[in-house]
Amino acid sequence: MMRKHRILVINPKSDSTVIALYENEVPIFERVVMQEDAADYHSISAQAPARTKKILDFLLSEGFNLSRLDAIAGRGGLLKPIEGGTYIVDKEMIADLKAGERGEHPSNLGGLIAAEIANGLNIQAFIVDPVVVDELEDIARISGYPLISRKSVFHALNHKACGRRAAMELGKRYENCNFIVAHLGDGITVGAHKQGKVVDVNNGLNGEGPFSPERAGSLPHGDLVDLCYSGKFSYKEMKEQLLYHAGINSYLQKKDIRLLEAGIKEGSKQDKLIYDALAYQIAKEIGSASTVLAGRIDAIILTGNMAYSMMLVDEIVERTKWIADVFTYPGENDMQSLAYGCLRVLRGEEQAKEYNIMLEVQESEYSG
């Protein structure tokens, strides 16, 4: 009989922490634990003790027996670039998450909270496929200008989880498949998955690929430089414009794709144009990724919250179905993906990786 593993999953958001309990693949519960005003703290990492206490207080108030936990899985944060996998939260990782040198983001709290709880229970804490997963081939790092290198920042957790799911449905191992995965959310990332590695992917945070509900995506750089020096925006305002006030939102003053679809049904030509342009750019990015894999592709995978829109999915499929079969896995499924990554380690199906050792290996490979 297969042993039952109990895993507590922790996914910090800006003003709350989502927690879930899994027994093997089965979710027992999922709750949102609210947090006080972040303005009360000098940094995101400083919130870790208070958030940890709130989570423990909630679990104890529900009568949950913490001693039955086998491991804690936390959302990975803005660490140094590492390859994909499930990582033990070690001292080096904790130091980097606290320092926040790669950026301040609520996901940095995932490993910190997981480690605090795990240390008190004498069990291990893990993170799984953080957003900084970097498996780019050297050729994919070349931007065209030597002072700028292409970087890997994408929805690695959901990308990898969907790749594993599709491989299982095809009766194969993820490491033996080639996929194009398109995560369609507030940001959009399209990755070329080659034999278990994401060898090329657009940076959906800092301006590559399709526009999205909030983000601008790729822009003509000459016009962008002119805008930056026009005096209309400060440095901070320009960054905020491209990250939060661009894309669909900037054209239509709305960013929920369901509102666009409602507008299209009511006959709005502008809603239809922007909607079609969104599908067009996503399909174009998928087509670009297909050349990375030289056309040898097991499947195209559409995921993220916008993949719930059958209208959008249909438009993308119409433009890309000649490349490969298209699988659709709507949503982000972060909690499940974190639990499953931890579970693979507990079952011995996958070896947990060590952050400091992986950094040394990747630094050696890059310099060599």
Residue 131 has pLDDT above 60, yes or no: yes
Residue 196 has pLDDT above 80, yes or no: yes
Confidence of residue 364 (pLDDT cuts 50, 70, 90): low
Residue 367 has pLDDT above 70, yes or no: no
Residue 366 has pLDDT above 60, yes or no: no
Question: What is the DSSP secondary structure assignment for residue 14, as one 8-state letter?
Answer: S
Residue 1 has pLDDT above 90, yes or no: no
Cα(15)–Cα(38) distance, integer angstroms: 7
Q: Are 92 and 40 in contact (CB under 8 A)?
A: no
- Give the per-residue pLDDT at 345: 97
**What number is the average pLDDT over the span 22-32?**
95
Q: Any idea where the domains of the chain sit in the sequence?
A: 6-134+335-367, 156-331
Residue 368 has pLDDT above 70, yes or no: no
- Counted residue by residue, the chain has a size of 368
The CATH H-level (homologous superfamily) assignment of domain 6-134+335-367 is ATPase, nucleotide binding domain (3.30.420.40)
Radius of gyration of the chain (CA): 21
Average pLDDT, the chain: 93
- Give the per-residue pLDDT at 359: 74
Question: What is the DSSP secondary structure assignment for residue 131, as one 8-state letter?
Answer: T
pTM, rounded to two decimals: 0.91
Report the number of secondary-structure helices (H) and strands (E) in the chain. Answer: 13, 14
Are 6-134+335-367 and 156-331 in the same CATH fold?
A: yes
Cα(77)–Cα(97) distance, integer angstroms: 7
CATH top class, domain 156-331: alpha beta
- Give the per-residue pLDDT at 2: 74
**What number is the average pLDDT over the span 32-52?**
83
The pLDDT tens digits of the residues spanning 97-108 come to 999 888 888 899
Closest listed residue to residue 13, CA positions, set 74, 90, 91: 74
Cα(260)–Cα(257) distance, integer angstroms: 5
Closest listed residue to residue 157, CA positions, set 333, 14, 300: 333
Cα(101)–Cα(151) distance, integer angstroms: 16
- Give the per-residue pLDDT at 14: 84
The pLDDT tens digits of the residues spanning 140-181 come to 999 999 999 999 989 999 999 999 999 999 999 999 999 999
Confidence of residue 297 (pLDDT cuts 50, 70, 90): very high
